[in-house]
Structure 1
Amino acid sequence: MAGDAPADLVYEGEQVVAFLDAAPAAPGHTLVVPKSHHETLLDVPDDVAGRLFRTARRVAQSLEANFDHGGFNLVQSNGAAAGQDVFHAHVHVIPRSDDDDVTLTWEPRDRDAQPQRAIAASVREGLDAGSR
């Protein structure tokens, strides 16, 4: 049942909660989670998504103000192929420092102008369809 596992709660609002990750990538690693169940970000209603990311921003601001970090990453994964292993939408706020061992890397690919234009057109079309 939700709420049964021990957690170091840092924030609770009407729509979201934030708590320290039980297996942190770095000290202060915080999860921001909607209270209502939504498997991925694509399932989260707009108002809840807004609150989710506003809260993630507030958590990041608090981490920056209260600890000596050099920055932070926001990580939000959707689907097993993207590394999602807890199928309840959530955002990781991961504090970063120059000497940490956290890695979020990929090999850049050469940009081929023609496919990029086609991809951009498809994304624009999807955005236009979604705004109707």
Structure 2
Amino acid sequence: MSGCVFCRIVAGSVPSFQVVGEPSGVAFLDSRPVFRGHVLVVPRPHLETLTDLPEADLAGYFGLVRRVAAAVESGLDAGGTFVAMNNRVSQSVPHLHTHVVPRTKGDGLRGFFWPRTRYDDDGQAATYAARIGAAVAPPTRG
């Protein structure tokens, strides 16, 4: 869908700090992260909500989400992650996406109040994307 910013990111026509790209989806840094290292995982085709994701694609997509969550923890030495998805309500971009937010004990995140931050510059964002991308395990076969 040409008007969708996430579709344009997937196509490479809008710049992003990509963490990983594979047939089941693309993961890239959120431009307005809750915490630095906040990743968005999107399926390649334009789908608006989770219920639009074909059943045959569930394992591949959520396998990618799971591997990105592990990579955020190991690549950033995070204590854990917060993984979330909105469907329509509070969905800032109407393209299915899953938030993977790095967490540390005492980081101040409470419930669903999501304060936003910024990267100091593109170099810092690229460093976070590279650290997480290097930690993403390859998909499992079988």
In the superposition, the TM-score normalised over structure 1's length comes to 0.72
Match of 1:98, SS state, is coil
Tell me by how many angstroms 1:66 deviates: 2.1
Match of 1:94, SS state, is strand
Q: Does 2:67 correspond to 1:58?
A: yes
Which position in structure 2 is the counterpart of 1:87? Answer: 94
- Rg (Cα) greater in structure: 1
The RMSD of aligned alpha carbons is 1.7
Tell me by how many angstroms 1:105 deviates: 4.5
Tell me by how many angstroms 1:51 deviates: 1.6
Aligned to 2:38, which of 19, 29, 40?
29
Unmatched runs of 5 consecutive residues or more in structure 1: 107-132
Q: Which protein has greater RCO, CA pairs closer than 8 Å, 6+ apart?
A: 2
CA contact under 8 A between 1:69 and 1:95: conserved in structure 2?
A: yes
Which position in structure 1 is the counterpart of 2:83? Answer: 74
- % identity of equivalent residues: 38
Q: Does 2:21 correspond to 1:12?
A: yes
Aligned residues: 104
Bigger drift between 71-80 and 46-55 goes to 46-55
CA contact under 8 A between 2:24 and 2:64: conserved in structure 1?
A: no
Cα distance in 2, alignment partners of residues 19 and 69 from structure 1: 17
Unmatched runs of 5 consecutive residues or more in structure 2: 3-7, 114-142
1:64–1:36 Cα change, 3 Å: same
In the superposition, the TM-score normalised over structure 2's length comes to 0.67
CA contact under 8 A between 1:34 and 1:48: conserved in structure 2?
A: no
Cα distance in 2, alignment partners of residues 105 and 25 from structure 1: 11
